[in-house]
Structure 1
């Protein structure tokens, strides 16, 4: 879901959500959220990597709630991640004034069949430098081996797995 937090008299908005179409794609009906009531709503997922959304009403919305529900389907491999980056191009109050708006980006992480994130040593659901260090420690037998850190699927956790995790953390994979 896409949320509007602590909204104060927002009559209309246009925003875009960009994502990596090699990791996930919109799939299913994109629908208006509970905050919009009977306001006009439109969403266009037609271009790979971008969803365009807008709503409009004669009066403003107030409070916190969902603006849109955008279902995604995983198309990437376990361990891949995409940021859902939000850009607002238009926002107005009923009188045309432009209120300030902050954005909080989201993310989609592809998990394995067991619901685990490959390479995640500490179980927090996402990869960090700590996970790469954990794999490196496993490779020199300073930690018990967890095969969920065997990223290259060679049956062992080695320094190569640590490198792959680190590349994913830094966006170089």
Structure 2
């Protein structure tokens, strides 16, 4: 059952990113990432504030703090391009609603899993943005990628430490 839930979560997050990418052809990948980043901020805030494993709590606090800086930067970038609808997709909200009521070890595991899956989508999308013909899109990707790569590595370590 847990394997099915993990596969469903990955498909839900990936599907949401693909759906938003198709909706806004030029800025779709970056717009889709806003919802993923917001989902991760919310998840990190909850994991940092609840009774979770110490390594999860520490990582979540760091992620929440970084996302609080990253999201306004991304929101300003997108709104400057006329993209104002930056809410999480319905699928992303579903992932959030399933994660939010959890606590203890279950929250630790699901939080780490969501982080890895979302970052596994985010990093390649920003890497693809490096090939954009728009210099500001490339600059944004160059700005975000070093941190995202580091936190993905850290998320994988945290996830490995809490896997069943």
What's the TM-score bracket when you normalise by the shorter of the two chains?
A: under 0.3
Task: Give the alignment's TM-score, normalised by structure 1.
Answer: 0.25
If each structure's strand is expressed as a fraction of its own residues, which one has the higher value? 1
Q: Which has the larger radius of gyration?
A: 1
